[in-house]
Structure 1
Amino acid sequence: MNRCLLFLALAAALPLASTPLAAQSSTFRFVELAPLAGDVSSAAFSVNHNGQVAGYSANADGRRTAVIWTIPASGSSTTPSCTLPHLGGGFSEAYSINDHGDVVGLAATATGEPHACLWNRHGVAADLHTLFTSPHAVALAVNNVQDIVGYRLGPNFQPQALVIRNGILENWPTTSMQRATAIDQLRNVVGNGQNSSLNLAYSARSTRAATLPTLTGFPNAEVAAINLLGEKAGTLTSEDASQAVLWKGDRIAPTSLGTLGGKFSRSMGMNQFYSIVGTAQLSDNAQVAANITTNSTGITTATQPPVFNDLDRAFWWNAGRMFNLNILTTLPAQWTLQAATAVNDFNDIVGYATASGNIRGFALIPSRKPSLALRAYASRIGASYPHGVPAEFWLCANIKPTDIRVVVDDVEVSRHSSIPYPISITGMSPGYHTLVIRVTAGTSEVKWTGNFTVLEPPPSNIASSLTLLQSTSQKTESAKSPATTGTSTGFLSRMETWYLQALSLSRPPASGVPMPPPAAAEPETTALPPPSPDSALQP
């Protein structure tokens, strides 16, 4: 996968010691995400880094309206701060919100057809079906550069991955990924499909998807979320059990996250700091609150409503341990948290619960802040960039910063306070460049030092140069014959990507300058367990 963790030794992230929180009621502050006036239920599916939550509110007849809540600084309940318009029909649902306030989901037309919908940060609805002709579609996730993924149904109702990058609908084959469930800031896509009798999970940079491995006894897989490191959260299933899992690579066997004592668990979201959320069952003989109705209907999607029972509990996995969120906060009477659907890098968790027989959305806010920790990611191969092409990085922090300063070669090039923060550095001469990032959060400050490389200007005839470089490269992949034309892979064309690979493999350091040694963060920081990125609801 063409992704790289930035800076230090071109591969390693800022050291992060993740310490699990004690299982006590003060770990999180509970906030009810109440429905609209007159409605009886609600559910939350996504939370951004500005405290905005996307989901729906529903009336007694089940009619749903896409809404946004804003998590309050204090208090235990809040109503929707924004109602998102329909497309002329009677229902809508919001599944994902980015840090700019753009929301995606589905909305009904005047004829009752569910269409994939984008609501921009001003609340204006756009019918994504202007890009294709399928009668039914749903958008499940949107990243910070407004790339959108989901799925659509063809004339024979066969699902096909819906992927819109750079505003262009991509034609994905139905033979692999059929439902795209998540996309990261580097435009890497994950999703699910079927092959023969098995359900498979896929990961892809372009329209060619790699099948994610499974574990013995659990042949079926689904993936729900991806972070910038390329880690994915999902679920493996057998005939009578399921396991929430973490994939740390496309070819590495997944790690089972376990359960809460029962036979079933399911991942639904993750963040940049090794936190995963979802739903899991208690053991069969566990004591169950008397107010929960067995096999009560849970949240429905565009196609199929999953069913939840009295043993389902929202979980939070961190530092190798799965926690039952119901014991990490103080809940009102008659409330049980059933599923955590998303978690951001600040550890804000959202999901849905049962409350006196109704489904209700919730948010959990950490009661204390962790030590400041950073992660940064490069958007291109290695940490090398073609001359004239901006060096592009994404910076993530586990608490909201008050100041971010980016210094290249002792010159401040950027100052900001938004997280996740895209850093674009232009006009650099060929060679190695020193990069320093200073992040302040309250009284805490972290200084991070690394480097990146700008390659010498490429020859005018890239194709000829590529052929020459490939003939001298020792790498097997360089012997392949690249296409002379190709579709965009997000940042570079296929030809440019091959050129970069070959050049970085075969060219020695410019002017014999050795690679600077990795630099450690000053001071070293530890962080409390964080939450997960945008998680998509899966059909």
Structure 2
Amino acid sequence: MTQKTQLTQVSSELQNLTVTKSNTATAASSYVLTDLGTLGGHLCVAKDINDSAQIVGYSITSSGQRRAFIWTPTKGMEDIYTLSNTSTCAYSINDYGQVVGYFVSDSGQRKAFIWDQTKGFQDINAESDNFSEAYGINNFGQVVGCAISSDGNRKAFVWDSKHGMEYINNGSEIESIAYSINNSGEVVGYSLSSDLMVKAFVWNSNKGVQELPGFLGSDINMSGQVVGFYAVPEDNNRAFLWNGSNKFQDLGTISGNVDLQFFDSEANSINNSGLIVGYSDRIIDLEKELWGRKAFIWDSVNKMQDLNDLIDTNDPWILREARAINNHGQIVGWGNKAQSRHAFLLTPIS
């Protein structure tokens, strides 16, 4: 199938999809896979997708440079041009096509940016040449990420065009990073306290910081459900779901309760229907303790499923990690295709 045919198919599938508002949705039984291509090199990673199937991430160019991209069903993959001709990376996109990520400044420092087709590129930490990266943006243009503060530590921030960059503080952390913000202004991430304890947190401007049982919060939906991962014995991480009412759920792994060192699962994204995606190690040979990283989708009925089992088996892919899921159930991430790492889009077959 040519890329042009794939783009047409994705556009057709998107028109037939509706946003589900229930929190009891289940994963599709199968998905159409679209190879997003590259900017000329052999590596591409998709980081986020909005409800119009606009996708962002980064790709290596033919000259070996890392560049942020935006992909659309009609135009395919395009380089996001910034003020810098060096490395760039896009992490998140909202439903208005506003993109955030980082670029490398002339001094060699990573700097957070916001970009859209109309206003172009803006350095959101222009007052400082310190390190900063933007990881999430909601539909009100509120941006979250981390930046080096005056004390030399990484601090989670919230930025908008009116107030600029403001740090999220709970008074005890020595490091913090914010990864996602929903349309209610609730933020999730992680913080490192002075006694070196790492905790996931949720924050809003009214209630301040609330620590969660997890290790890191990666995403939050409009119901206040949080996903991420937490640490378990044997140096493992496990994906979790926190429903906003102090109910904490271990999502397990694709292979069940396997007790092997460094056998992990991590949840990266949750949509408003409660569908969760990420990656999980999957047993290849238990006797030899061999496993491989596989992309997963989780729902409350079917639990964790390997996305490789839900695509056409004739596709020469191994889906390694699902990075984001939109409210139509479309999923993006990266996987291995031949000897290359490519970005993929999965569209549910209705």
Distance 1:14 1:44, change over 3 A: closer
Deviations 1:102-134 (A, max 9, x none): 00000112222211011123361101112x425
User: Corresponding residue for 1:18?
Assistant: 25
CA distance, structure 2, for counterparts of residue 337 and residue 159 of structure 1: 32
Deviation at 1:284, TM superposition (A): 4.9
CA distance, structure 2, for counterparts of residue 85 and residue 68 of structure 1: 10
Distance 1:18 1:89, change over 3 A: closer
Q: Which AA in structure 2 matches 1:170?
A: E
Q: Which AA in structure 2 matches 1:213?
A: P
Distance 1:96 1:329, change over 3 A: same
Q: Which AA in structure 2 matches 1:167?
A: K
Distance 1:334 1:364, change over 3 A: same
Q: Which AA in structure 1 matches 2:269?
A: G
User: Corresponding residue for 2:98?
Assistant: 102
User: Corresponding residue for 2:292?
Assistant: 311
**Structure 2 residue matching 1:327: 3-state secondary structure:** helix
Q: 2:191 matched to 1:193?
A: yes
Distance 1:358 1:121, change over 3 A: same
Q: Which AA in structure 1 matches 2:326?
A: N
**Structure 2 residue matching 1:273: 3-state secondary structure:** coil
CA distance, structure 1, for counterparts of residue 272 and residue 217 of structure 2: 16
317, 330, 340: which is aligned to 1:335? Answer: 317
User: Corresponding residue for 2:54?
Assistant: 52
**Following superposition of structure 1 onto structure 2, how do residues 30-109 of structure 1 map, counting pairs within 5 Å?**
30-36=33-39, 38-59=40-61, 62-71=64-73, 79-80=76-77, 82-109=78-105
Deviation at 1:269, TM superposition (A): 0.5
CA distance, structure 1, for counterparts of residue 249 and residue 306 of structure 2: 19
211, 217, 221: which is aligned to 1:223? Answer: 217
Distance 1:158 1:60, change over 3 A: farther
Of all paired residues, the percent bearing the same amino acid is 26
User: Corresponding residue for 2:334?
Assistant: 352
**Following superposition of structure 1 onto structure 2, how do residues 260-299 of structure 1 map, counting pairs within 5 Å?**
260-261=254-255, 262=258, 263-285=263-285
Distance 1:193 1:40, change over 3 A: same
CA distance, structure 1, for counterparts of residue 287 and residue 36 of structure 2: 27
172, 175, 186: which is aligned to 1:175? Answer: 172
**Following superposition of structure 1 onto structure 2, how do residues 384-403 of structure 1 map, counting pairs within 5 Å?**
none
CA distance, structure 2, for counterparts of residue 86 and residue 16 of structure 1: 38
User: Corresponding residue for 2:11?
Assistant: none
131, 143, 148: which is aligned to 2:143? Answer: 148
Q: Which AA in structure 2 matches 1:347?
A: G
Deviations 1:70-89 (A, max 9, x none): 136xxxxx840x32113324
CA distance, structure 2, for counterparts of residue 152 and residue 358 of structure 1: 32
Q: Which AA in structure 1 matches 2:307?
A: L
Q: Which AA in structure 2 matches 1:93?
A: C
| Conserved 8 A contact 1:347-1:365 | yes
CA distance, structure 2, for counterparts of residue 154 and residue 61 of structure 1: 34
CA distance, structure 2, for counterparts of residue 160 and residue 16 of structure 1: 32
**Structure 2 residue matching 1:90: 3-state secondary structure:** coil
CA distance, structure 2, for counterparts of residue 34 and residue 310 of structure 1: 27
- Structure 1, 41-50 or 159-168: larger mean CA deviation: 159-168
User: Corresponding residue for 1:364?
Assistant: 346
User: Corresponding residue for 2:107?
Assistant: 111
| Conserved 8 A contact 1:248-1:254 | yes
Deviation at 1:355, TM superposition (A): 1.7
Q: Which AA in structure 1 matches 2:91?
A: Y
Deviation at 1:287, TM superposition (A): 11
CA distance, structure 1, for counterparts of residue 316 and residue 42 of structure 2: 15
User: Corresponding residue for 2:130?
Assistant: 135
User: Corresponding residue for 1:374?
Assistant: none
User: Corresponding residue for 1:75?
Assistant: none
CA distance, structure 2, for counterparts of residue 44 and residue 143 of structure 1: 18
Distance 1:171 1:352, change over 3 A: same
Distance 1:311 1:287, change over 3 A: farther
Distance 1:277 1:16, change over 3 A: closer
178, 182, 185: which is aligned to 1:184? Answer: 182
Q: Which AA in structure 2 matches 1:162?
A: F
Over the aligned positions, Cα root-mean-square deviation in angstroms equals 2.5
Distance 1:44 1:19, change over 3 A: closer
**Following superposition of structure 1 onto structure 2, how do residues 374-393 of structure 1 map, counting pairs within 5 Å?**
none
| Conserved 8 A contact 2:190-2:199 | yes
User: Corresponding residue for 1:388?
Assistant: none
Structure 1, gaps ≥5 residues long? 1-12, 73-77, 215-220, 289-308, 369-539
**Structure 2 residue matching 1:164: 3-state secondary structure:** strand
Deviation at 1:157, TM superposition (A): 4.2
Deviations 1:264-313 (A, max 9, x none): 1000001000100000000251699xxxxxxxxxxxxxxxxxxxx96000
CA distance, structure 2, for counterparts of residue 161 and residue 335 of structure 1: 36
Distance 1:17 1:175, change over 3 A: closer
| Conserved 8 A contact 2:24-2:273 | no
CA distance, structure 2, for counterparts of residue 32 and residue 157 of structure 1: 41
User: Corresponding residue for 1:163?
Assistant: 158
User: Corresponding residue for 1:203?
Assistant: 202
Which structure's CA Rg is the greater one? 1
Structure with greater proportional strand content: 2
CA distance, structure 1, for counterparts of residue 27 and residue 105 of structure 2: 46
CA distance, structure 1, for counterparts of residue 202 and residue 184 of structure 2: 13
Deviation at 1:197, TM superposition (A): 2.7
Q: Which AA in structure 2 matches 1:313?
A: K
Deviation at 1:153, TM superposition (A): 1.8
**Structure 2 residue matching 1:283: 3-state secondary structure:** strand
Deviation at 1:47, TM superposition (A): 0.5
| Conserved 8 A contact 1:264-1:281 | yes
305, 309, 317: which is aligned to 1:323? Answer: 305
| Conserved 8 A contact 2:285-2:291 | no
Deviation at 1:29, TM superposition (A): 0.3
CA distance, structure 1, for counterparts of residue 21 and residue 111 of structure 2: 42
CA distance, structure 2, for counterparts of residue 281 and residue 92 of structure 1: 29
Deviations 1:168-209 (A, max 9, x none): 122333734710111001111111111223211111112821
